Amino acid sequence: MAVMGIDIGGSGIKGVPVDIETGEFAGERYRLPTPEKAKPDDVAKTVAKVLKHFEWAGLAGAGFPAAIRNGTALTAANIHQTWIGTNVEKLFGEATGCPFYVLNDADAAGIAEMRFGVGRERQKGVVIMITIGTGLGTALFVDGKLVPNTELGHIEIRGKDGEKRASDGARQKKNMSWEEWGGKFNEYLSRMEALFWPDLFILGGGISKNADQFMPYLKLRTEVVTARLLNQAGIIGAALYADMCSRA
């Protein structure tokens, strides 16, 4: 069965129907630029255009860059402040006419990676997936079960929000070398390690394809691997989540 998966990002809104049995895309991924300022109504219109592109009228899920409880956004770290308190499921559902389920973007990526990626064989113990992008997103799994909405990218390091020092956004903004960024990211991961002692860290997000540039600077006692699904994970996880919710 195919379910529409959508990934809402700072620069692009991407979607494609996903075969939820195999995790494969059932078509070509379609991407539209995120509207300027990314206010709720404009984003909803763009999501509707993505569904229209596929002439989609069925079940849909979206990963969204905020803590989401019962479909409502609770935070707005890198998005417009008017999202706080917005029922994103209702907004997207009304804009598209489709049953819509929405979850945090890193949770979506984590769900996909645990089902179809490197986490597949790691269903025991504590696994933390970190998506490295404009911000730092986190997904925490205990014996394969998600603890939703961990906002661990905001752990304070040297008096600053962790993601302001160690995200890919910070690396690009400050034009850091891999060595410099690797050191900062290592400090972030070391703090996470000292607080959670997980069995495994999975690193996702676009930057994970540059892993050989920064892995040498990571000095941890915890195993660290890169995600297998790269930038597909968010879309696949959103579709899986919608499927799970629709059956609950």
- Interaction site with ligand BGC (CB under 6 A): 65-67, 75, 77-78, 104-106, 131, 133, 135, 137, 151, 153, 163
Q: Which is nearer to ligand BGC, 61 or 133 (CB)?
A: 133
Q: Which is nearer to ligand BGC, 20 or 132 (CB)?
A: 132
**Shortest gap between Cβ of 198 and ligand BGC (angstroms)?**
18
Q: Which residue has the tokens 């707005």?
A: 76
Tokens of 75: 């935070």
**Shortest gap between Cβ of 171 and ligand BGC (angstroms)?**
15
**Shortest gap between Cβ of 66 and ligand BGC (angstroms)?**
5
**Shortest gap between Cβ of 11 and ligand BGC (angstroms)?**
12
Count other C-beta atoms under 10 Å from residue 218's C-beta: 17
**Shortest gap between Cβ of 65 and ligand BGC (angstroms)?**
4
Q: Which is nearer to ligand BGC, 98 or 130 (CB)?
A: 130
- Beta bridge pairs of residue 4: 17, 60
Work out the burial of residue 148: count CB atoms within 10 Å of its CB; fewer than 13 is exposed, 13-18 middle, 19 or more buried. middle
Q: Which is nearer to ligand BGC, 153 or 182 (CB)?
A: 153
Contacts of 4 (CB under 8 A, 6+ apart): 15, 16, 17, 18, 51, 54, 56, 58, 59, 60, 61, 98, 239, 242
**Shortest gap between Cβ of 68 and ligand BGC (angstroms)?**
8
**Shortest gap between Cβ of 167 and ligand BGC (angstroms)?**
8
**Torsion angle, alpha carbons of 22, 6, 30, 8, to 10:** -140
Q: Which is nearer to ligand BGC, 168 or 243 (CB)?
A: 168
Q: Which is nearer to ligand BGC, 117 or 133 (CB)?
A: 133
Q: Which is nearer to ligand BGC, 89 or 163 (CB)?
A: 163
Helices within the chain (DSSP H only):
40-53, 88-96, 105-116, 162-166, 168-173, 178-196, 211-214, 233-247
- Provide the edge-to-edge strand list for the sheet that holds 100-104: 30-33, 12-19, 2-8, 60-64, 100-104
Nearest residue to 219 (alpha-carbon basis) of 205, 196, 201: 201
The SS3 of residue 122 is coil
Tokens of 147: 């603890």
